């Protein structure tokens, strides 16, 4: 019944909006993780996080030809945003875990003391 209310249209606007939300959320999570030193979320630096946000907005407004044509309604936009958020959060944690585990394995070993 709920999914009958979603009409994502024939064009690529829904997909473009999903990518906008997904990469902007990834960037925002990196900015927050860098500011508050959250190692469980941090997989890059804050400059790349800011770049992800700016690039996702630029890409959306350059590629979306249907931006001023009535398309997606508020319910559809909200649903796409929530799906992008639900996917971006575990992907951020997985990337952070991979980066942290790679950093741990690359640490130089300390020399053992000789007697």
Q: What is the pLDDT of residue 54?
A: 95
Q: Output the six-digit token pair for 24.
A: 């902007």
Residues contacting 64, CB < 8 A, separation 6+:
12, 13, 16, 17
3-state SS of 50-74?
HHHHHHHHHHHHHHCCCCCCCCCCH
Q: What is the pLDDT of residue 30?
A: 92
Q: Could you tell me the residue ranges of all domains in the chain?
A: 9-63+72-101
Q: Output the six-digit token pair for 44.
A: 């890059």
| Cβ neighbours of 83 (radius 10 Å) | 13
pTM comes to: 0.78
pLDDT in tens, 44-101: 777 888 999 999 999 988 887 767 677 777 888 888 899 999 999 999 999 888 888 8
């Amino acid at each position: 019944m709920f999914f009958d209310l979603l009409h994502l249209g024939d064009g690529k606007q829904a997909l473009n909006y999903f990518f906008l939300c997904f990469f902007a959320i990834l960037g925002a999570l990196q900015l927050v993780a860098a500011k508050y030193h959250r190692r469980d979320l941090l997989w890059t630096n804050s400059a790349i996080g800011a770049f992800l946000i700016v690039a996702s907005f630029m890409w959306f407004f350059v590629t979306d030809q249907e931006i001023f044509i009535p398309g997606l309604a508020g319910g559809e936009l909200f649903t796409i945003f929530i799906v992008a958020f639900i996917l971006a959060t575990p992907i951020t944690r997985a990337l952070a875990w991979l980066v942290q585990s790679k950093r741990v394995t690359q640490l130089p070993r300390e020399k053992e003391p000789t007697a």
